Structure 1
Amino acid sequence: MASTVTQGTGGTPDSTGGPASTGTSATTGTSVPTGTSVSKRPGYGQLLRTRGAWTFLLPGFAARQPFAMLTISIVLLVQHTTGSYGTAGAVAAVTGVAMALFAPFTGRLADRHGQRAVLLPGVVVHALAGLSLTALALADAPLWALFAAAVPTGASVPQVGPMVRARWGAKLQGSPLMTTAAAFESVTDELTFVFGPLLATALCTAVDPAAGLLTEAALTLVGGLLFAAQRGSQPPVGVETGSAGGSGTGDGGHARVKPVSALGVPGVRVLIVAFLGIGAVFGGMQVSLAAFSESIGEPGLNGVLYGTFAAGNMLSGIVCGAIAWKVAPRRRLLIGYAALALTASGLWAAQSVIVLAGTGLVVGMCIAPALITGYTLVEGLVPVGARTEAFTWLTGAVALGQAAAVMIAGQLEDRLWDGAGFLVPMGGTLLALATLVALRSRLAPPTVSRTVARGVGHRVPVSVD
C-alpha cells in the first residue's frame, strides 16, 4: 500500500529564533532543528554548544542540588531527635509522597502557564516549610506535627530537573541530540547525588543535626530564584504538537490544541512503574546505608558509601550519553532494568564496607541506563506541550518509590536484622521488571502518518511504496 510523505521547501526558524535549514534525523525519522549542527555521532561537545544552553544549565544545577539533600537530611535530623529510623523514615516518606502527588500538578501548571510562574511561589513555600519542619523536630514535636510540616515541604519541592529537560526538548525537538541530553541530565542528577548526601551528612554530623535541612531550604530558595530568572529558554506556553514524535501542523510545525494529560499515555504509566522501582533503590539504599554505618560506629561513612553508589550511576550515565546506540530504546530499557534488578538483589548479602561499596557501585552503574532510556522514550510517547508534566510524573514516581522504600526499610532495620532494609531495592526492582516485561508493547510510540515539515513553503506529495 502506498503512503504519502509531504516534502517542502524553504527554511524554518531554529530553536532560538534564527533562520536555519531543517534536515531529517536518520535515527528518529523526524525533522532536526538546526540551532545546533548534529553529526552522525552526536556527543556532549555538540550538546553544550547549543545556543543558550548554559543560561539555564548553570542555575538549574544550583537549583536541583537541594533535592539530593532533602531525604537524607530529614532522616538524620528526625533519627537524632527521636532515636528511631522507623520514625525518621516515616516522616521522610510523607515528604516523598507529597512530592510525588503534587509534582505532576506542578508540571502541568508549568506547561500551561510557564515555569517562572510556578517556581517563584514554589521555592518560597518550600523554604518556609523546611524551616517549620526543622523547628518542630528540634522541639520534639509529636509525630502528627512532623507529618503536617512534611506535607508542604514535599509538595513544594521545585521540579527543576523536569523543567531543564523540557527546555532541552524545546531546543532539540526531533534531534538525535535528545538522547545525549537525556544522558547529560542523568549525569547531572547523579552529580548532585554524589555531592548532596556527602554535604548533608557532613553538615548533620559535624555541624548540627539541623544544618542539612536548613542548608537545603536556603539553596532551594536562592537556586530556584536564579533559575526562574532565565526567561529566554523557557518552553513555549500552551503549545502542543500534532504528534508525540514532534511533527505537527501550523507555523513552525506547532499548533495550539486542547491540552492533553501525560498520564493518559499508556507508555507513561508503564514508565511510572519502572521509575517506582528505581526510587525503591534510592530510598532503600539511603536508610540501609545510614543504619549500616551507625551499626559499625562510623556514621560519617554513610555519605561516602552513598556517594560511591551515586558515582557509579554518574559514570555509567557519561558512557551512555557518549554511545551512538543502534538498539531500540524499548529493548535497552528491558535489558538495563534486568541488570538493575539482578545487581540490586545482591545488596542484602553484603557484610563488609568494601563489599557493600563495590556492590553499591555496580548497582549505581545499572541505574543510569534505565533512567536515561526512560526519559528518552518520553520524546516519542508524549506531545511537546505535555512533556514537563510527563517528566514530573517520572520524577514523582522516583520520589514515591523512594518514600515507600524509606518507610519500609526503616521498619525492617528497626524490627529485623541489620541490613534487612536492603531487601527493599531487590523487591522493588523485581516487581517493576515483571511489569515492564508484561506491558512492554505499550512503550512503542504511537503510529502516525509520516509528515516531514520543511517550512511553510509549498509541499509536494510524494508517493512511497
Structure 2
Amino acid sequence: MFAPYRGLLRQPGALRFSASGLLARLPISMVSLGLVILVSAKTGSYGLAGVVSAVFVVFRAVCSPMQARLVDRHGQHRTLPVIAGLNAAALGGLVVAVEVDTSLAVPVVLAGVAGASSPSIGSYVRARWSHLLGRGPKLQTAFALEAVADELLFMVGPPVVTFLATGISPNAGLLVALGCGLVGTLLLAALRDTEPPAHGRGGSGTPLAPLGWPALFPVVGASVGIGTLFGAFDISVIALATQADARAWSGVLLGITATGSMLSAAVLGSRTLRKPPLTRFRIGAAAITAAMVPLPFVSHLGLLAPIVFFTGLTISPTMIASVARVEETVPASRLSEGITWSTSALVGGIALGGAVAGRVIDGHGANAGFFVSLSAGVVATIVAWSGARRGTGTPPVGAPGVGAAGADAPAGG
C-alpha cells in the first residue's frame, strides 16, 4: 500500500516541498487551542479566550481566498515570505499584549490580523503537486498523502500545544507554532524549482480567467454544511464525555475519528478510482450524514467509539473528492484560490457548528448536539447534489488525451 507514496516522494523536489509544507502548516492544529489556553490562563475568562480564538478563525476563513488569489497572481516565492512575516509579527504581538495585560481590543485586533495572514499552506502544497505531476493517477496519490498529513497534524498538534502550555508556559505552545509556521513557510517559498508559475495581472499581465462558480458553488456550499457538521460533532463528543464524567475520553474519541480518516486516506491513495470526483463528493457527503444518524441516540462512550471510527472513514474520501472537483472545475491559474474557497467554507462551517451546537447542548443536553450535525449533513448533501456536473478548468472526460481514469485522478484533501 505504501509503495505508491515512496515512488511519489522520489519525484524531483517532492520530498522537500512536502516536508516543508508539513512544518509550515503545523500551526493550523495549534493556534486556536493555544489562544484559548493562553488567554484563559492570563485572564481567567474562557469567554474572552473564545472571543479571541473566534476572531482568529473567522478572519482566516474570510481572508484566505483573497490571500490565495494574490499568491496565484504573484507567485509563492514573492508573497509567502511577506504573509509569513506579517503572521508571525501579529501572533508575537498578540502574545506580548496578553502577557502585559492590555485592553481586550488589542489582542482581538491582532488575532484578526493573524487570522487574515495565516498562510493557506495546504492549498499551496497541493498546487505544487498539480504543477509537478499534471493530470494522472499519481496526483490522486499525492493529494491522499496530503490528507494523511492533515490528519496527522490534528492528532499531534493539540496534545503538543497542551503539553507545552501546561508544562512550560501558557505562551509556549503559541510560540512554537509561530516558529514552525515561519520557518516552514520560508523554506517552502525558497523552493523555486517546484513552484507553480505566477498568473494573472501580477504575473503574465493577462486578465484572470473566470473561477467557474456555477460548478464550484455546490462544493463550496456543501463544504459549509460539512464544516458545520464537524464543528457540532466535536463539541457534542466533548459534551457527552463530560456528561459521563469522563472528559479525558473526548480526546480519545476524537483521536479515533482522526485515525479512521487517516487510514481511509492512506488506502484511497493507493487505489485507482474510476468514479468522477463530483460523484465521489456527493456519495461522501451522504455517507458522513448517514454516520450521524445513530449518534443522537447513543450515550455509552464504548458504543460511541466504533461509530466515530466509521465516521472517520468517511471524512478523507469526501475531502479528497472535494478538492478533486475543485481541481477539475477552476482554471489552473487560480487553483490555489479555488482550493482555498472550499477549505475556508469548511473552516467557517466548523465555527458555526460549534456555536450552534453549544447553545443546543446548553438547553437540551449533549446528545441533542448531534442533531445539529445530522441536520447540517442533510443540507450539505442536498447542496452537493445540486449544480452543474461539468467543470471548466480541465477538459471533460472523453476529450483528446483524457481517459476515464485520468480525468478522475486529480484529488485533494
**Shorter-chain TM-score: what band?**
0.7 to 0.9
Cα distance in 2, alignment partners of residues 362 and 76 from structure 1: 31
Other-structure match for 1:58? 19
1:463 is aligned to none
- From 187, 192, 197, the equivalent of 2:148 is 187
Change (3 A) 1:315 1:194: same
**Mean Cα deviation higher: 332-341 or 145-154:** 145-154
Partner of 2:207 in structure 1? 258
Show the counterpart of 2:261. Answer: 313
Comparing 264-273 with 416-425, greater Cα deviation is found at: 416-425
Counterpart residue number, 1:16: none
Note if contact 1:350-1:359 (Cα within 8 Å) is conserved in structure 2. Answer: no
Residue of structure 2 aligned with 1:304, choices 252, 255, 270 = 252
TM-superposed deviation, 1:348: 3.9
Q: For the structure 1 residues 441 and 450, does the alpha-carbon distance in structure 2 shift closer, same or farther, using more than 3 Å as the test?
A: closer
1:163 shift after superposition: 0.4
TM-score norm. by structure 1 comes to 0.76
* 1:378 counterpart = 2:326: yes
**In the superposition, relative to structure 1, how do residues 172 and 102 fare at CA in structure 2: closer, same or farther (>3 Å)?**
same
Which residue is equivalent to 2:219? 271
What residue is the counterpart of 2:109 in the other structure?
148
Distance 1:149 1:406, change over 3 A: farther
The gaps in structure 1 that reach 5 residues or longer are 1-41, 241-254, 454-465
- Name the residue aligned to 2:381: 433
Alignment of 1:132-211 (within 5 A): 132-137=93-98, 144-211=105-172
Structure 1 CA distance for aligned equivalents of residues 268 and 342 of structure 2? 19
Instruction: Name stretches of at least 5 consecutive residues in structure 2 with no aligned partner.
Output: 403-413
Deviation, structure 1 residue 439: 2.5
- Cα distance change, pair 213–190 in 1 and its aligned pair in 2 (3 A): same
Query: SS where residue 12 of structure 2 aligns?
Result: coil
Match of 1:219 among 180, 194, 210: 180
Matched, 1:331 2:279: yes
Q: Which residue of 2 aligns with 1:15?
A: none
- What SS class does the counterpart of residue 209 from structure 2 fall into? coil
- Contact 2:214–2:387, Cα closer than 8 Å, also in 1: no
Indicate whether 1:74 and 2:50 are aligned: no
Q: CA deviation at 1:85?
A: 5.8
Q: 2:353 aligns with which of 399, 405, 426?
A: 405
Q: Distance in 2 between matches of 1:217 and 1:396?
A: 21
Q: How does 1:15-94 map to 2 (within 5 A)?
A: 43-80=4-41, 88-94=49-55
Q: Alpha-carbon deviation of 1:80? A: 5.0
For 1:140 and 1:404, the matched residues in 2 are separated by 29
Instruction: Please say if residues 85 and 410 of structure 1, whose CA atoms lie closer than 8 Å, have aligned partners that are also in contact.
Output: no
Question: Residues 305 and 266 of structure 1: is their aligned pair in 2 closer, same or farther, counting only changes over 3 Å?
Answer: same
Which of 108, 113, 122 is the matching residue for 2:69? 108
333-342 vs 293-302, greater mean Cα deviation: 293-302
Q: Greater helix share, 1 or 2?
A: 2
1:197/1:306 contact within 8 Å kept: no
CA distance in 1, matches of 2:47, 2:370: 15
Question: What is the CA–CA distance in structure 2 between the aligned matches of 1:408 and 1:91, rounded to whole Å?
Answer: 18
- Displacement of 1:70: 2.2
Residues 34 and 165 of structure 2 are in contact (CA less than 8 Å); yes or no, is this contact kept in structure 1? Answer: yes
Aligned to 2:22, what secondary structure does the other structure show? helix
The partner residue of 1:369 within 317, 332, 344 is 317
Q: Is the 2:216–2:326 contact (alpha carbons within 8 Å) kept by the matching residues of 1?
A: yes
SS in 2 for 1:43: helix
| 1:313 counterpart letter in structure 2 | S
Which structure carries more strand by proportion?
1
Offset, 1:271: 1.1
Q: 1:153 and 1:347, CA in 2 relative to 1: closer, same or farther beyond 3 A?
A: farther
**Aligned 8 A contact 1:85 1:414 in 2:** no
> Which stretch of the first structure deviates more once superposed, 278-287 or 304-313?
278-287
Cα offsets for 1:374-431 (capped at 9, x unmatched)? 1112232111111011111122112211222233334444555345544443332221
Q: How far is the alpha carbon of 1:261 from its aligned partner? A: 4.6
CA distance in 2, matches of 1:430, 1:89: 28
Contact 1:69 1:196 in 2 (8 A): yes
User: Which residue pairs with 2:407 in the alignment?
Assistant: none
- Which region of structure 1 is more displaced relative to structure 2, 115-124 or 310-319? 115-124
Q: Give the structure 1 partner of residue 343 of structure 2.
A: 395
- Tell me the CA shift for residue 230 of structure 1: 1.4
Q: Are 2:177 and 1:229 equivalent residues in the alignment?
A: no
| Distance of 2:39 and 2:231 partners within structure 1 | 16
Structure with larger RCO (C-alpha < 8 A, sep 6+)? 1
1:311-361 deviation line (CA, Å, top 9, x unaligned): 111111111112212222222111111010111344444424333333322
Report if the CA contact (8 A) 1:267-1:443 is conserved. yes
Q: Deviations over 1:124-174 (max 9, x none)?
A: 222232233344455666655443232112111111100000001111222
Distance 1:193 1:340, change over 3 A: same
What is the TM-score normalised by the length of structure 2?
0.84
**CA, structure 1 residues 283+127, in 2 after alignment: closer, same or farther (shift >3 Å)?**
farther
Matched AA of 1:355: L
The answer to whether the Cα contact below 8 Å between 1:90 and 1:407 also exists between their aligned partners in 2 is no
Distance 2:366 2:147 in 1: 31
For the pair 1:131 / 2:92, whether they are aligned, the reply is yes
Identity %: 35
**Structure 2 counterpart of 1:357:** 305
CA distance in 1, matches of 2:249, 2:93: 29
Count of residues in Structure 1 that have an aligned counterpart in Structure 2:
397
In 2: Cα distance, 1:179 partner to 1:211 partner? 37
Cα 1:209–1:413, aligned 2, differ >3 Å: closer, same or farther?
farther
CA contact (8 A) 2:229 2:372 kept: yes
CA distance in 1, matches of 2:376, 2:302: 24
1:394 and 1:406 map into 2 onto residues whose CA distance is 19
Structure 1 stretch 153-162 or stretch 375-384: which is displaced more? 375-384
